[in-house]
Amino acid sequence: MSARILVVDDEMQIRKMLRIALRSVGYEVTEADSVESGLAALVRQQPDLLVLDLGLPDGDGLELLSELRSFSKVPVIVLSVRNGDSDKIKALDIGAQDYVTKPFSVEELLARVRAQLRDRLPDKTPAVLDDGYLHIDLARRLVTCKTQEVELTPKEYAVLATLAQHRQCVITQKQLLEQIWGPTHGQDSHYLRIVVSHLRQKIGDDPTEPKYLKTEAGIGYRLML
């Protein structure tokens, strides 16, 4: 029952309040106060839920969110003083599960935390895929190929991670493009061909007879792992 929750907020007072409230009902709480330390904590601790403030000293919480969505499906509750529509919509569309405006009721937040954990814990996508040759660690954002680490650019990793999150499933080009390049690039499929080409070269997959990154002509791609 005791879930791990990461709180990313730069205001110490808020962190303290959340820490006390969340610990009092049995959660393990860890904290971070910036985009960078937040990402680091995410990778290291792999929490079950993230409470994320938007106003951070070294960048926008939304950046953190879109970054983490490339390798994790952890539920995120965004916390913000901004009550405008556009921020809410942006956050939810990037991948947040909920959005709470400050000032907020602690009891309400706890209820929303419960709702997220209740609905999402059953989901058990393994964060590591491995077949002895290719090794993909979604939590650590690490890909190794026969013990040799593979260096991937952000786009390359995003494509591979998206495919990895639905392994064996065909992901359409449109899905990949809209999720990674943005909603306006739904038909720029040449980007994808280039990235997939690079990925195949880096993981040593023969394009004419791919073992891992299979092409579904006219549809999309699929990771066999």
Binding residues for DNA, rule: CB under 7 A, are: 151, 153-156, 173, 181, 188-191, 193-194, 196-197, 200-201, 207-208, 215, 217-219
> Residue 17 and residue 27: Cα distance in Å, rounded?
14
Among 24, 148, 168, 197, binds a copy of itself (CB under 8 A): 168
Query: In Å, what is the CA distance from 53 to each residue of 12, 24, 42, 59, 206?
Result: 12, 21, 14, 11, 44
Q: Any idea which residue has 């950046």 for tokens?
A: 63
For 155, phi then psi, to 5°, come to -65, -45
> Residue 182 and residue 121: Cα distance in Å, rounded?
28
Among residue numbers 71 through 130, which ones bind a copy of itself (CB under 8 A)?
A: 85, 88-89, 92-93, 95-99, 105, 107-108, 110-112, 114-115, 118-120, 122-123
Q: Which two tokens stand for residue 102?
A: 């400050």
CB 22 within 8 A of CB 29: yes
Spell out where 102-162 has E strands.
Answer: 128-130, 134-137, 142-145, 148-149
Contact map string, positions 131 to 150, toward a copy of itself, x by CB under 8 A: --------xxxx--------
**Minimum CB–partner distance for residue 72 and a copy of itself (Å):** 13
Closer to a copy of itself by Cβ: residue 10 or 98: 98
**Minimum CB–partner distance for residue 201 and DNA (Å):** 6
Among residue numbers 9 through 28, which ones bind a copy of itself (CB under 8 A)?
A: none
User: Which residues of this protein are in contact with a copy of itself, per CB under 8 A?
Assistant: 85, 88-89, 92-93, 95-99, 105, 107-108, 110-112, 114-115, 118-120, 122-123, 139-142, 153-154, 157, 166, 168-170, 216-219, 222
